[in-house]
Amino acid sequence: MRSIVESAAGQDVRGTLPEGLADAIRGTAEEIAALLRGVADTGAPVPRSEWSVGEAAAHLAQANELMADIAAGHERSHGDGTPQSLAAANERALAEFAERGADALADMIVAQADAYLSAMDRGAAAEAVFTPLGPMSRAELGSYLLTHMLGHGYDLARAVGRPHMLNRARVELALPFMITVMPRVTNAAAPAGLTASYTVRMRGGTGFGVTFTGGAVEVGVHPPSRPDCTILIEPVTFLLMALGRCEPWGAIARGRVLAWGRKPWLGPRFPTLFTAP
């Protein structure tokens, strides 16, 4: 299995921060902080989660620190990349970190996002780093950081009854991480023996290709010339679905996902081929 991360012109984008990524990281962290500041009851539950608001915010503060440390060149271990090990590592980290105050956690989330950006300014951006989901460039790590904040920021916004901070531009900046990680989060059982090609396009934006050959998967920014199935999806819906925050059939029923091509019936199967990172 491999992933290919290229620019639209066919050039490798590893080692550079895509335009707007730094602003998106900083802006997302600040918007999450704004959601948290002044929240009196951080013990309130997060919808569809076992965590409270305080626990989700503490996890974000810890994860931002982890990614800033990795970008700075420090070796950090956090599970082995499997969903079970990551969940266990998250729970251990939360148990060892007592802070649950909304304002303090808000400050930490912003400070550690800034620490990642400072590490990018100081370091060699193209140098590979090892993340909880495998090796990446520092630029891909930035897309990972943004994606992670968007997912948990969405959860926190729902928990406190405020608008979320996801939009098409930020989803586009999350795509380098998604393209990199999709082969690593392929559902081991689902694609067994599958040979099929997909084009996935964001409505109003860019897209990528996914090809399964006998169950092995390749993901890249260049869609196949003759895909078996083309999927057109509203960008925010794509990210929420990819992160396990949105059920595929509900999105399809609301017209946010369309599929066509020689084998359009492959469309509804696509989300089942991956496990949310």
pLDDT score of 5 more than 60: no
At 124, the pLDDT band (50, 70, 90 cuts) reads: low
From the candidate CATH numbers 1.10.3720.10, 1.20.120.450, 3.30.390.50, 1.10.1740.10, the one assigned to the domain spanning 2-181 = 1.20.120.450
3-state secondary structure (DSSP) of residue 64? helix
pLDDT in the model for residue 146: 98
pLDDT score of 227 more than 70: yes
DSSP 46: P
pLDDT score of 127 more than 90: no
> Which residues, 6+ apart, have CB-to-CB distance to 63 below 8 Å?
145, 148
Q: How far is CA 194 from CA 14, 146, 214, 229, in A?
A: 30, 32, 5, 13
Q: Which residues pair with 200 in a beta bridge?
A: 208, 231
- Start-to-end CA distance of the chain, whole Å, equals 17
pTM of the model: 0.91
Span 138-175, pLDDT tens digits: 889 999 999 999 999 999 999 999 999 999 999 999 99
At 126, the pLDDT band (50, 70, 90 cuts) reads: low
Mean pLDDT of the chain: 89
pLDDT score of 187 more than 70: yes
Task: Give the C-alpha separation, 232 to 230, whole Å.
Answer: 7
Domain boundaries, the chain: 2-181, 186-273
Q: Does domain 186-273 have CATH number 3.30.1050.10?
A: yes
At 105, the pLDDT band (50, 70, 90 cuts) reads: very high
Span 67-101, pLDDT tens digits: 999 998 888 888 887 878 898 999 999 999 999 99
